[in-house]
Structure 1
Amino acid sequence: MIQRQPLTIQKPDFTDDVAGLIYGYFFQSGVAPQPLSAQQACRVWQQKPADEGFLWLHVNLSHAASARWLQNNFSVDELFFDEIQQGSHTTRIERQNEALMAVLNDVIFDPRESSAQNATLWIWCQAGLVVSARFKPVGLIERLKGKLDELALNSSTELLTNLLVEQETVLEQIVRQANLYVDQIEERLLSHHIKSNRSELGRLRRMLLRFQRLLAPEPAALFRLINRPPAWLDREVVQDLRQFTEEFTVVLNDLTGLTERIRLLQEEIASRQLEQSNRTLFTLTVITVLALPVNIIAGFFGMNVGGIPLANNHHGFILLVLLVTLFTCVTGWLALRRRDKM
């Protein structure tokens, strides 16, 4: 008897699973954002007028077909995927042919942890389309997704600008949390509890410098974009980018001031530890000097030779004790006098 094998169900070419689409939205003025599947996104992109609304596609790059799906259906520039393959994680926004390419980063910061988790987001933006791609989940996207209804976005560049603001907020929160943590260490320093503060400050300083390299946008690329924007970019968006640059500069200045404060605290702790070590060494030196007369006299009187003074004197022991005490007091007075002059 021949058994019939069940037919395998073939997936359509562009399901969400195959395309790697995480979120898809269509934005129109005065209308709430409309969620889209992969097939619906392709259909809307083919049918919508050029000046009516825009699409936002957020994809998972772990899916092997996601890049091919974007290139085949939305004509995303191949240079965008080349940048992703190069693995550059530095925050920047620059012009890429007639589109905008941005690299943003999101971090989870805990000043008590030795390492911080970070995730990189690559963005490709043109008139009517925004594509955001990532390998690991990015908190910037999740926070922006929760505010889509209240933002009322009208253009693709507004979405990009809001993502830039979200990253600025991340860096601002890092500076605020680090300031509070440094305040606690400074309080412990003032109360002379400096046992582990220096190592904590060193770890925090290295972490903040890493965040500064990771989250701070490249100024050269940003200024090139502001001075030579694409033709489709509105002047209001260019002005928003200038304002973003100024605000980010303020946050970076705060971060630089915080790292300088940490460096000064490290130097203060190092000087206090050095002073404490010097005092301990001086105390040991004084103890050695005070014991020197006892050792010398004991060495002389311990010699097994004739002619030892006070050997037949009934008060010899008391006289030696008084002599050693006198020498010890004089030596101690000289040592303490020298310490007061230091």
Structure 2
Amino acid sequence: MSAFHDLAARSYGGDEAGLICGYLFDAAALEPARAIDSAQAAAWLGAQPEDTVVDDGNRAYVWLHFNLSHAQAERWLLRHAKLSDTFYETLHDGLPSTRIERADDSLIAVINDVHFEFSFEPSDISTLWISVGPRLVVTARAKPLRSVDALRTAVKAGDAPRSSTELLEHLLRAQADVLVKIVRGVTTRIDRIEDELLAGRLDHKRARLGVLRRLLVRLQRLLAPEPAALFRLLQGPPSWMSEPDAQELRGSTEEFSVVLRDMQALQERIKLLQEEIAANVNEDNNRSLFVLTVVTVLALPINILAGLFGMNVGGIPLAEHKHGFWIVVAIVASFTAVAAWAAFRKKR
């Protein structure tokens, strides 16, 4: 029964408490990064004193990553984690914009990341909620995200952040790396569309450019507050944050600024391509309209005469003339030539 319960929990996206992964980081231990489950995490947190004076050296802390889709995740946090009320308010306020703020003696962060199965769609973006304290880092999400997966892979490979602030910095840099890959992917797609445009194969490239532009606009809108929010925070960091950690966070803001500038440049490039495609489409439409106009003008004289001579009434001119048919043909040809000359003269 226990094995079945564990299998069901893993397939649901976490253990019985909704914990996807947990690590105890202790640079002084034989194993600097040790995986723990929710029961071990609860025991470790319960053993910590209420008020701990944290120095700037190596210190043990725990990282817990939760699946918010699990019904027990938030209950477990309320029972064992002793997080700031601001964190729980942030979980339910429905505001996905990126921000990092100080709440009591901890940091509350909301960052936006792409799903693990990212397919360059604007809907493939989700939110990661973070609470950072000197002894505990809690991350929570509703859908699998790439930055968390990259951090977990790095930890498994032996890259153990020495402090909770450094773990936050790792998450931010992982998110920046993901955004750089997105920018590269979008750039490659734009290059391909531009080459096809120059080759004269328009197809449906304008719609594809619109999807890419919406993706970049949404990413920029969700991520744009990030550098400014970090700069404001670093003006008054918590007492437990060391100066080297603060410098690393400043470095991560610079990476975000570069990525955001690249996104703005790509948006301008997409806009220019869309304008060029629209101009080409408009030119093709004008050309088609001109051809239809010329055909209509050329057919007008013969249609008028055919309508007049087709009336079943008496007194039709040239009906008894020996060369009447050829006279009518000459008249129609003359009017058609004049109409064609006028149409093409206007085109030139």
Alignment TM-score > 0.5, same fold: yes
1:64-75 counterparts in 2 under 5 A? 64-75=71-82
Residue 154 of structure 1: aligned partner: 162
For residues 80 and 210 of structure 2, what CA distance do their matches in structure 1 show?
A: 50
Larger Rg: 1
Which letter does structure 2 place at the counterpart of 1:143?
A
Deviates more, 1:43-52 or 1:280-289: 43-52
Residue 25 of structure 2: aligned partner: 27
Q: Deviations over 1:253-289 (max 9, x none)?
A: 1111111221222222222222222222222221122
Q: Does the alignment pair 1:213 with 2:211?
A: no
**Aligned residues between the structures:** 322
Residue 110 of structure 1: aligned partner: 119
The percentage of aligned residue pairs carrying the same residue is: 47
For residues 65 and 327 of structure 1, what CA distance do their matches in structure 2 show?
A: 86
Secondary structure of 1:255's aligned partner: helix
Secondary structure of 1:294's aligned partner: helix
Q: What's the offset of the Cα at 1:302?
A: 4.2
1:188-337 counterparts in 2 under 5 A? 188-302=196-310, 304-306=313-315, 308-309=317-318, 311-337=319-345
Q: What's the offset of the Cα at 1:184?
A: 1.9
Secondary structure of 1:151's aligned partner: coil
Pair 294,125 (structure 1): closer, same or farther in 2 beyond 3 Å: same
Q: Deviations over 1:68-93 (max 9, x none)?
A: 43344342212211111213222222
For residues 305 and 214 of structure 2, what CA distance do their matches in structure 1 show?
A: 57
CA contact (8 A) 1:21 1:57 kept: yes
Residue 56 of structure 1: aligned partner: 63
Q: Deviations over 1:15-54 (max 9, x none)?
A: x844332222111226431112233223334269855322
Q: 2:107 aligns with which of 100, 108, 113?
A: 100
CA RMSD of aligned residues (A): 2.5
For residues 72 and 256 of structure 1, what CA distance do their matches in structure 2 show?
A: 44
Residue 7 of structure 1: aligned partner: none
For residues 72 and 306 of structure 1, what CA distance do their matches in structure 2 show?
A: 106
CA contact (8 A) 1:167 1:215 kept: no
Give the gaps of 5 or more residues in structure 1: 1-15
For residues 222 and 279 of structure 2, what CA distance do their matches in structure 1 show?
A: 32
For residues 131 and 199 of structure 1, what CA distance do their matches in structure 2 show?
A: 40
Q: 2:89 aligns with which of 72, 82, 88?
A: 82
TM-score by length of 2: 0.83
CA contact (8 A) 1:24 1:57 kept: yes
Secondary structure of 1:19's aligned partner: coil
Residue 4 of structure 1: aligned partner: none
